[in-house]
Each structure stands twice: as C-alpha cells, then as structure tokens.
Amino acid sequence: MVIRNIRVIDPADKTDCIKDVFIKDGRIADPLDPAADNDPDIIDGTGLIAGPGLVDVHVHFRDPGQTHKEDIHTGALSSVAGGFTSVVMMANTDPVIDDPSIVKDVLRRASEEPLHIYTCASVTKGLGGKELCDHKALLEAGAAGFTDDGKPIVDADVLRRAFSGIAKLNVPVSLHEEDPAYISENGVNSGSAAESLGLKGSDRMAEITMVRRDIEIAKETGVILNIQHISCAESVEAVRCAKREYPSIHAEATPHHFTLTDNAVSEFGTLAKMNPPLRKSEDREAIWEGLADGTIDLIATDHAPHSADEKSREFEKAPSGITGLETSFLLAYSTLYKRDIVDLNRLFELMSLNPAKLYGLNAGTLRIGAPADIMIFSPDESTVYETSRSRSSNTPFLGRTFEGKIRYTIAAGRIVYSS
C-alpha cells in the first residue's frame, strides 16, 4: 500500500510534513525499497492527515461476565472506528482478571480481532483490596500491567506491598484514586451539581488525598505509577511537583474531563455520571494546562459501556461511566487543538506515543520499520455521531456534530476501518 501526498505527523521525531507513506508486510517501508512500490494499493492522501494509530490504555470491554454491555468484538469495532489500533483492557470483569488462565483466555480471543488488544490484570484478588495477586505469574501469562480500576486500594500497607513487588517487574500500576470516606454518593461532584439532585456527592478531597498518598508510596518503592482519569486541579499540581524529582509518575486525562464540567449533569443526567465525577471549569482548565506542559502524559478514554436500562435508572442507582472510543480524537481535536492548547504533534504524543511508551507497546510512531498502524483524519469534513459501533451508547455526545472525520484506520498494514 502507498498513501500519497499526505500530511504526516509523527511525535516520535516531531515530523510534520507532506510525503508518501509506503507499507510492506505490515510495516512502514523505506520508499527506496524496490519492492515497496510493486503494484500497490493507493490511497490519495491529499488534504488528509496521517498519524500513528491511537493507543488507549484504559478501556472496559466487560468481557467476561457483562457482555450485554460490551464484548471484545464490539469493543474492537468501536476502537477502530475511533482511530485506535492498540487498546489495553481493564481487569474489573466477572470473573476479575486475577488468574493467569483468565489472562490467557481473553488474550486468545482478543487475538482474533483486527487491532492489537492487551489486558491488565488486577493488583488484588477479586479487586478486594486485601490479598495480593501473583503478579509475576500474571505477567508471564501476558498481562501488560496491573490495576484495580473501578475500585481504589484504600489500605496503604497493601498498596505498599503491591508496589514493592510490581516495581521489580518494571510494568505500570494504574490506580483509580477515590477515597470512599469522602464520598456520599458517587458519580457527581459535591456542591451545586450534587445539590441540584438532592445529593451530597463526591468531594474533591476523595481524589486529592489518594493521589498525594500514592505518589509518596510510589517514590518510596520505585514503582511506575499511572494516575488514572485525573479530575482535580490539586491533583494535577501534585503530579507536576512529583515529576520534578520522580519521573516514573504519570497521569492520564479523559476527553470527558477536559471537555465537560459538572454543569453537564443538569443537561444529561446519568449520561454525565462518572467516577471520578466531572468537576468545575477551573479543574478543566488545570487539565488543559497539564496536557500542554507535560504534567499529564496521556489521554485515555475510560470507555465504560452500560446498557440503556441501567443508565435509565434514577441517578443514585445508575452505574457510572460513559463510552468514549469513537469520540475521543474528535473531542481532543476540537477542544485541545482547535483552541491552540496543543499542536498536532503533542496531540498524537498524548494519544499514541506516550501511552505506548507507558506500557512498552510497539506503537506510537510512523518511522521506517515500525508497525503500519495508522490513523488517517480529514480536517475539512465533519462527523455526525449518530450511531455507535459499541454494544452500548451511554454518552452525552450522541447526536453531536464534530469538526473533522476519521477516514481510515490501518492496523498492521490492513485497512480495518474506512468512512
């Protein structure tokens, strides 16, 4: 395959230029290789942008156990429609991914899909926060890292023992940072948003206290720590300060946290219910600043499918979370790039190169010899997000018109999505 006359963005070496991209045997090929241009399929890239395929290290495919919401196959379809060529699944399935046999099973089934799918295993047995898993055995079975996402690890001694062991394995631990002691009802920010629903909600200190605590334990133990779905200005500042002396602290931001504020709860109800909750405009601006200055390393969707029946319950009883794979790049493009918060190289760094680096994945660049994982985007077209390829469509962005359109997703040299 040859992609002709396309604007190429490669954050690995800060490339931003018009050129041809050659693909051979599933990899980016040298244009001087005589076989690279041997009767190829041709994509006219005039007016389009090519970047390395997007990488999402925080998705919930609900498989096994909750496949009425999503399964590996429908999650894969949603991923490629959003420009993603690599994703990392979370471990809060049923049963929890806390045993090597479960790791092997989900990876075997994931290998049949048209993109690269990895999985984390849990830090503690059954996400119970007490008994540590056999992390070495889980890693040997194929786990990419560890997380109890969906639940915080409240016991500091348990976390310290986990960090000490995982540090020796040189893979990341990704943590959901919400102390339940500060939460009356989850999914909505305490203050005016919660009060409008007759609730007390989730105080910002739920996140701030755990972020500060876990940074200190990470520094003590030498673990690679990723703060998931950061939502508070104080948390962003804690990460900023920590990274100056300990570069193995990382943080991710979701598109919903850098796009919406807690006012969205009044408009969208349970479709704007999530953990941690949407915060204030000053928190959103702190996330923008963190994404721009390197404090926040990556963008991750926290793609969290739920059925329409579940989301139609009254606010307190409805589950938290929204889908996000198909709108992630479109939201980042409109909210971050079009407002000059980040340039395109930084955007692909946040959405491809950095998440790949965090998990040690062979992705995130379009250099010669790299896997031919490519997202092709049209800045001059628009997207009306009317239907979802996910099994669920619990998102406040359904029906929205976005500037820009994902035209192709190419994984290992094959077109796996086109529009």
Residue 9's CB is within 10 A of a number of other CB atoms, namely: 24
Name the burial class of residue 146, with classes exposed (0-12), middle (13-18) and buried (19+) by CB atoms within 10 angstroms of its CB.
Answer: buried
128, two tokens: 């119970």
Tell me if 283 sits within 8 A of 289, measured CB to CB: no
Q: Which of 247, 245, 242 is nearest to 213 (CA)?
A: 242
Per the rule left: phi > 0, alpha: psi between -120 and 50, beta: everything else, 96 is beta
What angle in degrees, to the nearest 10, is found between the helix axes of 233-245 and 205-221? 10
First and final C-alpha spacing in the chain: 18
Task: Tell me the catalytic residues.
Answer: 302
Alpha-helical segments (H) within 225-272 = 233-245, 255-259, 264-268
Per the rule left: phi > 0, alpha: psi between -120 and 50, beta: everything else, 198 is left
For 190-194, the CB contacts below 8 A with 24+ separation are: 191/262, 191/280, 192/262, 193/262, 193/263, 193/265, 193/266, 193/277, 193/278
Instruction: Identify any residues that bridge with 402 across adjacent strands, giving them in sequence order.
Output: 383
Per the rule left: phi > 0, alpha: psi between -120 and 50, beta: everything else, 47 is left
127, two tokens: 């996400």
Find tokens 């993603």 and name the residue.
84
Residues 6+ apart with CB under 8 A from 202: 178, 182, 183, 184, 185, 186, 187, 188, 189, 190, 194, 275, 276, 277
354, two tokens: 């950095």
What angle in degrees, to the nearest 10, is found between the helix axes of 281-293 and 233-245? 20
Residue 328's CB is within 10 A of a number of other CB atoms, namely: 25
